[in-house]
Structure 1
Amino acid sequence: MKRKEALERLFQKYGEKVIVRDREVSAILRPLQYKSGASLNLPTEYYDNLHYLYTGPAGEPLCTGDAVSSGARNYVVKRADTALMAGEELYVWAVLKVLDDGADREVFLEADGKRAAVADSYTVKCVQQSRTVSAWGEQDAVSTAPGRISYELTVRNVRPENGADLCALSGFCLIAAGNGERTVYSGCRWKNITAQGGAGNTPRQSMEMVAAARTQEKEGESGGQ
């Protein structure tokens, strides 16, 4: 019996039924702790009781942002890959996060209509250049006047896709998508990029950026940059 076939029998016997893209799959889900995830080179913020390690058949690959449901719980895929041995695909592993109804399902950067990178989390600060209005001869302000609005964002654990160079990006979008809607920060330019890495470790990159505009769209709509 081949290794792949033995693993698939193990999933059928000991796994639980989960739904992936409207298909029922037998897979093993367990809380992600340091010992179970360190070999996958995952950020330490994954090791809590809200993240789970998925192990399932190689014939059902997962992608970042996919929805997975099991019983009364819903999850979103944060990271996924296929384990290989001697060139043979043995099984799929994924990091799942418990998903609330209003939570973002995925966060990614888009340039020229193509996905350039995915990210784990972001922080946004809305900045308005407001000013006070004072009457002539009065010491105290009587009102305020609105000014130009801009957005300052910090994006953490950014992972380029398709060989994208983060330093070469300009005029791109940050998109946070979830529950049928998405928030788009467009006209982005980065201010600084920080990378942390080491021998044998995948570099972890963070970006600080500014955005010119913010829009909210229904899934399937496409706003221009």
Structure 2
Amino acid sequence: MPHLHHLGEFYNIAGAIINRYHPLVLMEEANAGLARELLDKSREVNIVQARVEVERMCYRNAQWIHLHEGQLRDFPRLTLEYLRDLTIGTFQVRLARSYIQDKMQRDAQEEFQLDSLFDEQGFIRVRVFSRFRNATKHQIFIAYNIRDADNIDDEREAIFGYYCTCKSGARTVGTCAHVTSVLWYLGYARHQPNVRYPSSSLLNTILDAAQRPP
């Protein structure tokens, strides 16, 4: 990577070009107060990460109970609006479908597998493969407000905190794509009658090129 040391300069050049030639980008409801709120939140400690590290939850498998998603009845229903607010935008939410599809294909199963703490409700772990490194598996931890999964009118805070072991998963502002995908699936997609996932026909053709038609 001969250009690695120049990434900062490249970033500044790209930013200058965008600022000069790209139309003004406006975010709905964005203002100075929201910016200050996000900055303050970015300085907060990720309490889920702190607990995971102190209690060594990544390694102590005996404290977890293996579940399938049908057994997780107390996970709150989430709206797309809530997910967009939590993830600070729409980008991560749009990626969620492909991340969940990839997990289902990697695990070769239809059920969404997860773990719950042995003696505590409202805290789960999900393990997913990295989409970019086959040998890497990330662990996602989510603390949530226990409620009836069918109650979509509960106004209490639904998600207390989250942490993923990927490089960008320890944030307190927004979420990484892994956390978003789990929240999107457990809190939204599995309650919908029809959810369309990206087509995998091209991927299957590439993986099994010997069977492609002449």
Q: Which has the higher strand share?
A: 1
Q: Which has the higher helix share?
A: 2
TM-score normalized with structure 1 length: 0.22
- Rg comparison, structure with higher value: 1
TM-score normalized with structure 2 length: 0.23
Q: Relative contact order, CA 8 A, sep 6+: which one is greater?
A: 2
